[in-house]
Chain A
Amino acid sequence: MARKRLDLTFPPRQSLKPVIYHLVKDYDLVPNILRAQIHPAQEGRMVLEVTGSKEAFQAGVAFLEGQGLTVNEAASDIVLDEDRCVDCGLCTAVCKPDALTLDPVTQRLTFDKDKCVYCEACVIACPRRAITLTF
């Protein structure tokens, strides 16, 4: 099983075909929508985390491209500025997937990016503004 983040760009006149539904139903992929900005008659963006077999993943991407979407490996990223961080731990209280945790011994902040779902709760919670999302 592979897990990848995809950055989708929807053209302004994208058909109303429910592409996420088809990823699930036809390609047996598990998409998790991390961010979406879709407006009528404007270009839209969606960042997805997709889990599934390698073959299904390739077929799913081909399907999306066939629908007129531009598909890129997501470049968006949660960035922790360790120089600004003071290890207060406030972000850990809002991080539901436990990507941000305190080391049980040192109590210093550790960030496991593989667990991050890009919900941005930490971005808002960090009083040092040490966590940013690049989109």
Chain B
Amino acid sequence: MAKSWEEINARIASGDAVVLTAEEFGALAAEDGVKAAAKRVDVVTTGTFGPMCSSGVVLNFGHSDPPIRMTEITLNDVPAYGGLAAVDTYLGVTETSTVRGIEYGGAHVIEDLLRGRAVRLKASSPGTDCYPRTEIDTWVTLDDLNQAYFFNPRNAYQNYAVAVNTTDRVLHTYLGTLLPRLGNATYCSAGALSPLLNDPTYRTIGIGSRIFVAGAPGYVAWEGTQHNPHTDRDEHGVPVRPAGTLAVIADLKAASPEYFSAASFTGYGVSSFVGIGVPIPVLDEDIAATLALTDADLTATIYDYGVQRRSRPSFGTVSYAGLRSGCIEVDGKRVPTGPVSSLPKARAIAAELKRWIAEERFMLAPPVQQLPQPGAPGTKPLDIRTGEAI
């Protein structure tokens, strides 16, 4: 009963497509079986809303008169990259304010722009014959900018670690506050709703896929940084550890602060919650089988963040259903859990993407190029060596 991308897009165009969220599809498959669900449903929508540090925006300010070639740039006192053309910049979400530290950073500037607020732009330059101005101090809004688009080098991590802490002190991490002596466990995935957990071998998600990025229609631009398809997988072929990632692109002007939220992690730094949603066509029963997986089927690996090394010791795996129950067992001890990624937001994203497809005829795009597949080489470490050793 295979369906083609063309058939599914034709059904979207005519308004006849049957679209369910991944949670709804899992429930349907549990009731009617995978085969019947695969036959009935055309598209399954996914969603995730977690902190994604490798995110940021490309901005073009337009030229002042006389013009300036901006080399040192700040937005609301947050430094932005000056190594591009005269009035282009890249602002990363983790950049911190020179005045307010981690309480305000690149992510907060982006959220302010999305909320329509004016942002103070200051820049300086040595001055050149073609760009004589040496300083500028002005205010800009999102509407004023010529181009403003997300280019996020790593979003939508396929699975993530469960963090615990065996030391005697509180740890402040990007997975939140970890209490001493296995006092808690935090985890960060939308589980059954997570985009790449629903297409574990990147059959339908690839370069050129049309997706939801922070409320805007966007695209998968490339494999994400640290994309690592070559990792441990369960009997369904789903990674049990952090694996694939996506680099994504989308118009900031079409995005919404509902689906992009700045974050300050005490003792760690600035990040941003980014909403990502990916539609997955139900091409055949194989893909339907992974779309039907629930939080009870999907697992994550528990790591000791008390060991401050690249490779942290593991305490084995646990299911997302277990994590969501609020308490898991680690090393014979009952440990309360807390998520980092928002499930209500992930659900809202999957529902909004479903509405786009069903009501606004948002069409799917097959990958123009596949992401590196399982079996491809994994990520490489960074060795510390001297010039002489090269």
A127 in contact with B264 given A94-B176, A121-B177 (CB within 8 Å): yes
A89 adjacent to B261 (CB under 8 Å): no
Q: For the complex, is A86 an interface residue (Cβ under 8 Å from B)? A: yes
Of A17-25, A36-44, A101-109, the one with at least 4 CB within 8 A of chain B: A101-109
- Complex CA gap A51/B155 in Å reads 49
| Inter-chain contacts of A101 with B (CB < 8 A) | 326
* A90 with B344, Cβ < 8 A, contacts A124-B177, A127-B263, A129-B264 known: no
B278-316: which have CB < 8 Å to A? Answer: none
Contact among B177, B264, B337, B340 with A88 in the assembled complex (CB-CB below 8 Å): B340
Q: Which residues does chain A contribute within 8 Å of B336, judged by CB atoms?
A: 93
Residue of B nearest to A123 (CB): B266
| Chain A CB within 8 A of B51 CB | yes
Question: Interface of chain B, helix or strand or loop or mixed?
Answer: strand
* Chain B hits for A90, CB < 8 A: 176-177, 186, 338-340
A106 to B23, CA, bound (A): 13
- Which residues of B in the span 321-356 have a Cβ within 8 Å of any Cβ on A? 324, 326, 336-345, 347
- By a CB distance below 8 angstroms, the chain B residues around A29 are none
Tell me, in angstroms, the Cα distance from A99 to B7 when the chains sit together. Answer: 51
The reply to whether the CB of A33 lies closer than 8 angstroms to some CB of chain B is no
Q: Do B345 and A93 touch across chains, with their CB atoms under 8 A apart? A: no
B184 — which chain A residues lie within 8 A by C-beta? 93-94
Q: Which of A89, A91, A101 has the most CB of B within 10 A?
A: A89
How far, in Å, is B179 (CB) from chain A's closest CB? 7
Which residues of B in the span 162-197 have a Cβ within 8 Å of any Cβ on A? 176-177, 179, 184-186
Q: Which of A91, A125, A127, A128 has the most CB of B within 10 A?
A: A127
Q: Is the CB of A108 within 8 A of B263?
A: no
A92 at the binding interface (Cβ < 8 Å): yes
CB contact between A92 and one of B271, B338, B344, B345 (< 8 Å): that residue: B338
The reply to whether the CB of A87 lies closer than 8 angstroms to some CB of chain B is yes
The CA of A94 and the CA of B183, in the complex, are separated in Å by: 8
Q: Give the residues in chain A near B262, CB-CB below 8 Å.
A: 128
User: Chain B contacts of A88 at CB under 8 A?
Assistant: 49-50, 273, 339-342
Bound-state Cα–Cα, A129 to B49, Å: 17
Minimum Cβ distance to chain A for residue B186 (Å): 5
B186 to chain A: which residues have CB within 8 Å? 90, 93
Interface residues on B, range: 20 to 34
Contact B271 A106 (CB under 8 A): no
B265 within 8 A of A: yes
- Asked whether any CB of chain A lies closer than 8 Å to the CB of B103, the reply is yes
Q: Do B273 and A86 touch across chains, with their CB atoms under 8 A apart? A: yes
Q: A94-B184, A129-B103 are known contacts. Are A89 and B177 too (CB-CB below 8 A)?
A: no
Contact of A86 among B49, B179, B326, B347 (CB under 8 A): B49
Contact pattern, B 144-176, Cβ under 8 Å of A = 1, otherwise 0: 000000000000000000000000000000001
Complex Cα distance, B262 from A24, in Å, reads 46
For residue B343, give the distance in angstroms from its CB to the closest CB of chain A.
Answer: 4
How far apart sit A102 and B337, CA to CA, in the bound complex (Å)?
Answer: 11
Using A88-B273, A107-B343, A129-B103 as known contacts, say yes or no to A94 and B177 having CB atoms under 8 A apart: yes
Extra pairs beyond A106-B344, A125-B177, A127-B271 (11, CB < 8 Å): A86-B342, A87-B343, A89-B342, A90-B186, A94-B179, A94-B184, A124-B177, A125-B176, A127-B176, A127-B263, A128-B262
16 sampled A-B residue pairs with Cβ under 8 A:
A86-B342, A86-B345, A87-B344, A88-B50, A88-B339, A89-B339, A90-B177, A90-B340, A93-B184, A94-B184, A94-B338, A106-B344, A107-B343, A125-B176, A127-B51, A129-B103
